[in-house]
Structure formats: structure tokens, C-alpha cells
């Protein structure tokens, strides 16, 4: 499978064995990549029961005896106690923490560090800009604000992203040495637009005030048309960055 961020991790890891891999915040995309690697075993952790079912359904070939999918929360001090892995992957985990363990982000890397026997790879999304210059930036931030507003009105917690310097600081505070960091500019397409707006549309029936449903649905439709038009006009929506950070034991 081809993915620029995972390809970058593979290039950083070249010549090193993968051995035992911990996918510390698993999803279909990350676990597919982990399963494509020459590992000796893997453990995939999620705090979301729906995600656990999704990744279990996605593993169509029988896993090896030591491969496992674990439902757990990193605030639980007993989770994977004493287990050490050659590679720990935190793929968009930091941003997702707020949905399951609010206010725990500053301790996440401290919690993961004892499990790092070789390398930690952190994949994250830079926070979206507060000030927009281009139409692409305005469209992307409007979609994100609509999505988060709907989640909050439905009494759910949106993800909360952190910038690369914050990540580096807390990885180093956890006793790990940063060996590489890089940002990757994002160009978002029709798939991203529809995933974000579909997430909002599915929740409109759950809004606490039924009078909000129709105008919010119209807002979703209007923003979808605007976003697709901008995407076609500019060859994608150029806005924001992903980042990859690699660290190991000091």
C-alpha cells in the first residue's frame, strides 16, 4: 500500500527490523500498513468499541497467535503493563485522545514511553490556521468548524490537534530522543470533503433542538457545493500540514 507518511516512516526505519509493533491508536488504515510489514507480532489498541469491530472485520486473514486487537484506554495504568515493542506507532492518536480521555494529552508520551524498546513514530495533524488567506483555507476551516459545532451540539467531543513543537517538547520530556521530524503539506480532495460533511449530516437528527435540523442540513449542502467547486477550481484544497516525528530511547 502507498501512503506518503507511512512511506516516510519506512524510509526512516530502513535497515532496522520491525519486530514487535504496537499500533497505539489503531484504525483500519494504520493496521493495514502494520500488517503489511515484516513483523514478528503486532498489538493494536483502540478505546472505541466500534473501531475495534471495524478493524476486526477488516482482518480477513487469520492473525498469528500473538497478534491481537485490544480495547483499552491509555489512562489505564494496567493496559499492556510490562510489554515492550520494537516499534510504537501513534498514528493521529494525540488528536483523538480528547474524544476519549480529555486533558490527558500532556501525559500521553510519558505513558507510551515504557513500551518503546526501539522507535516511536508519531503521525499527527497540525492545527488549522486561525487566519485564512486563500479560499481553500477558508473552505477547509469552515468545514472543520461546522463538523466540530455539530459534534459539540450532539454532546460529543471533537478531536484536538497539537503543533509539532508541542509534540517534540512532550516526547523529549518523556525521556525519548527525537531523531527526525518533518511536515507534509496537505492537499485535500473530494473524499476528505465528503467524509467530514457526511459525519456532520449523520448527526443532524440527534441535535437537541429539532428546529436546527433543516437549517444545518442546508448549511451542510451549501458548504459541500462550495467546497467541491473550490476543489475543482484549484486542483485540490491546499491547507494545513501533517507531521511525522521519530524518536527513540535517549
CATH code at position 134: 3.40.50.150
Q: What is the model's pLDDT at position 61?
A: 80
Q: What is the model's pLDDT at position 186?
A: 95
Q: Which residues contact 218 (CB under 8 A, 6 or more apart)?
A: none
Q: What is the model's pLDDT at position 100?
A: 87
**What residue ranges of the chain have pLDDT lower than 70?**
1-2
CA torsion sign for 201, 28, 183, 8 is negative
| Number of structural domains in the chain | 1
Q: What is the model's pLDDT at position 2?
A: 46
Residue 119 lies in domain: 4-249
Residue 182's beta-bridge partner residues?
A: 244
Question: What predicted TM-score, i.e. pTM, was given to this entire model?
Answer: 0.93
Query: Do residues 210 and 108 lie in contact, with contact meaning Cβ atoms separated by under 8 Å?
Result: no
Amino acid at each position: 500500500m502507498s501512503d506518503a507518511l507511512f512511506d516516510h516512516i519506512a524510509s526512516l526505519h530502513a535497515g532496522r527490523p520491525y519486530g514487535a509493533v504496537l499500533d497505539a491508536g489503531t484504525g483500519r488504515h494504520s493496521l493495514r500498513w502494520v500488517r503489511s510489514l515484516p513483523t514478528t507480532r503486532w498489538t493494536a489498541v483502540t478505546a472505541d468499541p466500534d473501531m475495534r469491530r471495524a478493524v476486526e472485520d477488516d482482518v480477513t486473514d487469520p492473525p498469528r497467535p500473538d497478534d491481537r486487537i485490544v480495547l483499552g484506554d491509555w489512562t489505564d495504568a494496567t493496559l499492556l503493563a510490562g510489554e515492550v515493542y520494537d516499534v510504537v506507532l501513534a498514528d493521529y492518536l494525540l488528536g483523538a485522545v480528547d474524544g476519549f480521555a480529555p486533558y490527558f494529552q500532556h501525559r500521553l508520551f510519558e505513558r507510551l514511553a515504557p513500551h518503546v524498546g526501539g522507535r516511536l513514530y508519531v503521525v499527527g495533524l497540525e492545527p488549522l490556521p486561525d487566519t485564512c488567506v486563500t479560499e481553500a483555507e477558508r473552505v477547509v476551516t469552515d468545514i472543520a468548524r461546522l463538523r466540530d459545532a455539530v459534534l459539540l451540539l450532539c454532546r460529543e467531543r471533537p478531536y484536538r490537534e497539537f503543533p509539532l513543537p508541542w509534540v517534540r517538547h512532550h516526547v523529549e520530556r518523556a525521556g525519548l530522543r527525537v531523531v527526525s521530524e518533518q511536515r507534509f503539506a496537505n492537499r485535500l480532495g473530494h473524499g476528505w470533503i465528503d467524509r467530514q460533511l457526511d459525519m456532520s449530516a449523520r448527526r443532524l437528527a440527534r441535535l437537541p433542538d429539532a428546529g436546527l435540523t433543516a437549517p444545518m442540513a442546508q448549511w451542510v449542502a451549501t458548504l459541500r457545493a462550495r467546497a467541491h467547486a473550490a476543489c475543482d477550481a484549484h486542483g485540490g484544497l491546499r491547507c494545513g500540514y501533517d507531521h511525522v516525528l521519530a524518536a527513540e530511547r535517549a
